[in-house]
Amino acid sequence: MSEQQVREFLEQHGVAPGDEEEVRAGPRLLGYITGLGLSILLTATSFFVAGTDLVWQPSIPVALSVLAIAQMGVHLVFFLHITTGPDNTNNVMALAFGLLIVVLVVGGSLWIMAHLNQNMAPMDQIMQMQR
Amino acid sequence: MTDTTLPYSAHGDPHHLRGLVDDALGHEGPAPKRIVTGYGFWLFLLSDIVMFSCFFASYAVLLGQTAGGPSGAQLFDLRNVAAETALLLLSSFTCGLASISVDLRNARWYQAAMAATCVLGLGFLALEFREFSDLVARGAGPTRSAFLSAFFTLVGCHGLHVSVGILWLLTMMAQVYAKGFRADIRRRLLCFALFWHALDIIWVAIFSVVYLVGSAV
């Protein structure tokens, strides 16, 4: 087996995210249809929860966040094909690192700014103190 | 001399591969170019998502800073947002259909699915442009308050990404028409599909956090 043949062999047996080397269209089409159906369901639930009086009002932002995260998961699995397969390890590790940064930036900003708002005097008082 | 000869002697393994092919089955050999390209583009997408998370953080912090101006509940038209969401979600689905046609090497279905994706994306942009010009006409432009600055930056940045995506989409339609499903073209198509689906993920966060939570507060 020459090196050229080895390269061809590797080309044929690797799988990248979003692009499975599979000629059968049926299962892949089913995957996209499942993803679309789940997304529509979750989106409709989000819009329903936001507009209804049936849910305890203070819980709505949390419910919307949970629904949004669930829908992002659906998109990652059914559309971007990020799976736990062995050839996807690098992608999943990169995703985990990205998520860490996102959580630090968003959660950290909200946390710090909420504390500043609580502990600082209102802005008009600060302006008077500077005079 | 065949490669089925075991164990690896100088006789049966003239190129000193020593089970390289067997290792490849366990995915330890050099990764094919398609996987490396997909991984690199995935890293770019994640950095893009980190950038968006900064805009999301500033929007969440500035949500209440309306400077006496209109708040989200007074400004946002949720029916318009639902229509935008439907258009972008369907465009993600047709983009998936395009990826399937690429693997089937079916140029006609590919061009049809990409054209549908393009039309849906343009519809999304038209709705967004109408919403923005409506807000500016009502005196709620990006200069009105910190809340509106954060809103226009975040949603406008996503709209900019969609516009660039549509330019890329048209380029890919032309490239497949001119050059066919070559290996390098297929790698570009893989990256485009990842980009378009990632835009949809960011839009999920936008309609949940910006519009639904923003109009509830």
**A93 in a domain, yes or no?**
yes
* pLDDT mean across residues, chain A: 82
Q: Which of residues 54-93 of B touch A (CB under 8 A)?
A: 54, 56-58, 60-61, 78, 82, 85, 89-90, 92-93
Q: Are residues A128 and A89 in the same domain?
A: yes
pLDDT digits (tens, 9 = 90+) for B100-125: 999 999 999 999 999 999 999 999 99
Q: Which domain holds residue A127?
A: 84-131
**A8 in a domain, yes or no?**
no
**A41 in a domain, yes or no?**
yes
Token couple for B152: 């226009």
pLDDT recorded at residue B9: 46
Q: pLDDT-based confidence at B7, cuts 50/70/90?
A: very low
pLDDT recorded at residue B5: 42
CB pairs < 8 Å spanning A and B = 175
Q: pLDDT-based confidence at A122, cuts 50/70/90?
A: confident
Contacts of B186 in chain A (CB under 8 A): 19
Q: Are residues A66 and A88 in the same domain?
A: no
pLDDT digits (tens, 9 = 90+) for A26-62: 888 999 999 999 999 999 999 999 888 888 888 888 9
Q: Are residues A73 and A89 in the same domain?
A: no
Contacts of B93 in chain A (CB under 8 A): 32-33, 35-36
**A60 in a domain, yes or no?**
yes
What is the dihedral sign for C-alpha B171, B176, B182, B183?
A: positive
**A98 in a domain, yes or no?**
yes
Contact call for residues B185 and B130 (beta carbons, < 8 A): no
* pLDDT mean across residues, chain B: 88
Contact call for residues B158 and B203 (beta carbons, < 8 A): yes
Which chain B residue has its CA at the smallest distance from A64's CA?
B208
Average pLDDT over residues B178-193: 94
- On whether any CB of chain A is under 8 Å from the CB of B30, the answer is yes
**A37 in a domain, yes or no?**
yes
Three-state secondary structure call for residue B63 = coil
Residue among A11, A19, A101 whose CB faces B99 most closely:
A19
Q: Are residues A38 and A76 in the same domain?
A: yes
- On whether any CB of chain A is under 8 Å from the CB of B3, the answer is yes
How close A87 gets to chain B, by Cα (Å)? 7
pLDDT recorded at residue B66: 85
Q: pLDDT-based confidence at A7, cuts 50/70/90?
A: low
Q: Are residues A77 and A95 in the same domain?
A: no
What is the set of domains in chain B, with CATH numbers? 1-30 (no CATH), 31-216 (1.20.120.80)
In one-letter notation, the amino acid at residue A78 is F
pLDDT at position B23 over 60: no
Q: Are residues A99 and A130 in the same domain?
A: yes
The tally of domains found in chain A comes to 2
Q: CA geometry: angle at B196 spanning B183 and B107, to 5°?
A: 45
Percent with pLDDT over 70 in chain B = 87
Q: Are residues A27 and A71 in the same domain?
A: yes
Contact call for residues A79 and A94 (beta carbons, < 8 A): no
Axis-axis angle for helices B78-104, A26-51 (nearest 10): 170
Q: Are residues A111 and A91 in the same domain?
A: yes
Which chain B residue has its CA at the smallest distance from A70's CA?
B204
Residue among B3, B21, B204 whose CB faces A75 most closely:
B204
pLDDT digits (tens, 9 = 90+) for B144-185: 999 999 999 999 999 999 999 999 999 999 999 999 999 999
Rounded Cα–Cα distance for residues A111 and B118 (Å): 40
| Residues facing residue A16 across a β-bridge | A19
Query: pTM value?
Result: 0.82
Q: Are residues A60 and A72 in the same domain?
A: yes
